[in-house]
Amino acid sequence: MKADRRKLFQKPWEFREAALIALTLNAVGFALQYASGGSGVTMPEWPMNAITLTLSACLILAVGLGYRNNRAVAWMGGIPLGLSLILTLAALSFIGGMVPQESGGNPTAVRLGLHSIFSSWPFALTVVIFLINLGLSLSWKLVPFSIKNLQFILFHAGFWIALSCGIFGSSDLQRLVVPVEEGQANSQGYIIKSREAKQLPFSVFLHDFSIEEYPPQLLLYDPKTDRLVMNSAQAIPEVCTGATAEWKGTKVVVTDFIASALPGKDGIPVPVDPAAGVPFAKIRITSYEGEGETWLSTGSPMLKPAAVNVNGFFLFMVAGSPKSFRSAVTLRDENGFEKIANLEVNKPVNFKGWKIYQMGYDEQSGKFSTLSLIEAIRDPWLPAVYLGFFMILAANALFFWNGIKKSGASS
């Protein structure tokens, strides 16, 4: 017997209707985006975003539980629509992953929001319908509660919370760059994009900024091809006393190394305080033209680097890349409460609801920089997003465990 093919929009709705709805949604989204001149969606700020989100959550739960036997509602919270929206989100993210997300570019693409896809109308509409779909399916597993559904509930609720709070909370995120000079305090930050200055509820006093570098490196430059020559070991030689390197018949041995020195009389460097000097290395070069010994230095903004010409190639020493940089600061709020902290990359410090980060420094001056760029970030929605994340992780741990158990049964 040949089964009749279901007509489009004949009930019950399935994947084709879901795909069509998702496509229509995006067509409307792109049209809105184009009509609005590419300005995108602006999220309401606190407390409007929280009110909107709470009301929406209550509404979804009420509709889900009140009309769970209604076909249209069942379809709205069903897998066909869910899967279509997951793939739509993937497709929109694909645009975001292919088209550089920055200002500028083809005017039509800009107006369609292709360069700012994640704040565009089609993305926002898809997320809204996705949250409804996810929320409805969640409501049916929440009531009546059963421990069997725990994994489902944790994953879907976690995703709902992380996604909704991440997006609705983005308007309350404050991110300010605070430049501070050594020995000075600053309580003004600015927004990177708009350069708009903002007053912080605390000040940052910088005692000291310091950089630790990796050892300097030896490089051989070929001026004819404008390229660096790779040595026989396929490694960038680090400079320390006794280090050796070899490039096609040219052998280099470091016979002496001073991490911080300044040029003295007769060209012999004199060791000085690490804050004032630059690395110097005495090297012995052996090639088919003979043997010679000379001093190399990396140079600094104040000092010309010393390189050496070896048979038409230039051998020089460059300062190592920064290994770590840190700022010793005192944070002080309006009531005089103080906190002494060491700011370092990957080690932010909490202060009065803000997270304070070591962001950068004056890269032109390198390790001589007396300027530290501090970043102050306030994200009041973070705990909610993290709650979502941890629920997702817990759900996946359960998923893993059940998967392992079931896979044993199926074999």
Q: Is residue 410 near other proteins by the rule CB under 8 A?
A: yes
Q: Is residue 309 near other proteins by the rule CB under 8 A?
A: no
Q: Is residue 64 near other proteins by the rule CB under 8 A?
A: no
Q: Is residue 392 near other proteins by the rule CB under 8 A?
A: yes
How many Å apart are CA 150 and CA 397, to the nearest integer? 12
Smallest gap from residue 1 Cβ to other proteins (A): 19
The phi-psi region of residue 220 (left if phi > 0; otherwise alpha if psi is between -120 and 50; otherwise beta) is beta
Q: Which of 10, 101, 108, 184 binds other proteins (CB under 8 A)?
A: 101
| SS3 state of residue 51 | helix
Contact characters 227-246, other proteins, x per CB under 8 A: ---x--xxxx-x--------
Q: Which is nearer to other proteins, 62 or 345 (CB)?
A: 345
Question: How far are the Cα atoms of 23, 39, 58, 139 from residue 73, in angstroms, in the given order?
Answer: 20, 33, 15, 12
Smallest gap from residue 58 Cβ to other proteins (A): 26
Q: How large is the angle between the packed helices 121-142 and 15-35, nearest 10 degrees?
A: 140
Smallest gap from residue 270 Cβ to other proteins (A): 29
Cα angle 86, 91, 94; round to 5: 125
Q: Which is nearer to other proteins, 175 or 339 (CB)?
A: 175
CA torsion sign for 158, 160, 161, 165 is positive
Q: Is residue 214 near other proteins by the rule CB under 8 A?
A: yes
Residue 208 amino acid letter: D
Give the start-end residues of each E strand in 288-353.
290-297, 308-310, 313-318, 322-333, 338-344, 349-351
Size of the site for other proteins (CB under 8 A): 58
How crowded is residue 347: how many other Cβ atoms within 10 Å of its Cβ? Answer: 12
Distance of CA 410 to the CA centre of its chain: 41
Q: Which is nearer to other proteins, 83 or 272 (CB)?
A: 83
Q: Is residue 323 near other proteins by the rule CB under 8 A?
A: yes
Q: Is residue 348 near other proteins by the rule CB under 8 A?
A: yes
Interface residues with other proteins (CB under 8 A) are: 79-80, 82-83, 86-87, 89-90, 93-94, 96-102, 118, 166, 175, 214, 230, 233-236, 238, 320-325, 344-348, 355, 357, 375, 377, 382, 385-386, 389, 392-393, 396-397, 399-400, 403-404, 406-407, 410-411
